[in-house]
Amino acid sequence: MRRFVIPLVALLAAGCGQLGQSPESVAADDARKAAERAGDRAYDSRVRPARDMGHRAADLDGVEVMRVTGVSTAGDGVRLVLRTSGTAPDGGWFATSTITVRRCFELRFSTSTEWQRYGTRQVACPAGGPLAFGPWPKAPEIPSERLRKALPRVPKGGRADEAKVRAAVGSLRLDPAIRREFATKGDVVGVVLSVKPYGSDVFDCVLARVAPGRTSVWTPPRVQRTAGEAGCSAGNAIDPLPPPH
């Protein structure tokens, strides 16, 4: 029977969680981990205004933003105080209940230094309730079907007329935030309607190609619409890029 003693003791020790810690302390560690996970999800390498960082964190389940300080993630960066909750068994291995605690942690985000989870520190929770953030600014929708119906059709052997294409797009009375681009190459006219959603690196865009015998309207794949790619260009409308692998 002696050979079973050590494994049993080890099992009981493991069941007690972190040996020597109270249930409240274990729950507080769980809350800290929740704050760090929130930091992982809220942070990226872009320079963002302080309020946007708070908004991104507030959008996460189980996270309350209690304070936002700083101007942007550039330079000294932004500090957020997040309130999260943690749980732990109340009474060790044979516990039949759990305790839940709420704790506040300050996290710093800066594009000048890599996001470091060990920078998370517990702080006293500010007085009052969590900060409220309104909805994110909404980008106008590009009316691809209306564009498809409005664009002229050119018979085979003909030639697309950029002036007529521009007039067709003008008849749609687009939101001023939607950028329009036109280009002509040979007998083909390319059209780009694009808008950059707030805080995103991916453009919303619709391309059109008016050519003899066929008028096409489509949305490029997401990878081609990323900032720095050529997906939302008049050149791609005239000579479409191959689909990504």
Q: Where are the beta strands (DSSP E) in the chain?
A: 64-69, 78-89, 98-109, 121-123, 179-185, 188-195, 204-211, 214-218
CA nearest neighbour of 22 among 104, 83, 91? 91
**Does any domain span residue 245?**
no
Structural domains of the chain, count: 2
Residues 117 and 205 in one domain: no
State residue 4's pLDDT score: 41
Least confidently predicted of 113-122, 146-155, 183-192: 113-122
Whether 131 is in a domain gets the answer no
Query: In this structure, is residue 47 part of a structural domain?
Result: yes
Give the residue from 123, 153, 181 where a domain finishes: 123
Same domain, 34 and 104: yes
Confidence of residue 6 (pLDDT cuts 50, 70, 90): very low
For residue 177 the two structure tokens come to: 């935030």
| Non-local CB neighbours of 105 within 8 Å, separated by 6+ positions | 31, 32, 35, 81, 82, 84, 120, 121, 122, 123
The answer to whether the CB of 142 falls within 8 A of the CB of 124 is: no
Whether 107 and 183 share a structural domain: no
Residues 111 and 181 in one domain: no
Is the CB of residue 60 less than 8 Å from the CB of residue 43?
A: no
Residues 218 and 185 in one domain: yes
Interatomic CA distance for residues 26 and 122, integer angstroms:
14
* Together in a domain, 110 and 221: no
Residue 130 lies in a domain: no
Q: Are 166 and 100 in contact (CB under 8 A)?
A: no
Contact 151, 218 (CB under 8 A): no
What's the domain range around 81? 2-123
Q: Is residue 132 in some structural domain?
A: no
Residue 17 within any structural domain of the chain: yes
Name which residue leads in pLDDT, 136 or 1.
Answer: 136
- pLDDT, residue 187, reads 96
Q: Are 8 and 105 part of one and the same domain?
A: yes
- Is residue 128 one of the residues assigned to a domain? no
- My answer on whether 10 and 119 are in the same domain is yes
46 and 16 share one domain: yes
Q: For position 93, what pLDDT does the model report?
A: 61
Indicate the residue among 94, 123, 152 that finishes a domain. Answer: 123
What is the reported pTM?
0.72
Are both 102 and 153 inside the same structural domain? no
Q: Give me the pLDDT at residue 221, please.
A: 94
170 shares a domain with 73:
no
Q: Are 110 and 149 part of one and the same domain?
A: no
- Given this model, what pLDDT does residue 53 score? 95
Averaged pLDDT for residues 60-77: 94
| Residue of 215, 214, 137 whose CA lies nearest to 169 | 215
In a domain, 243, yes or no: no
What is the token pair recorded at 50? 């302080």
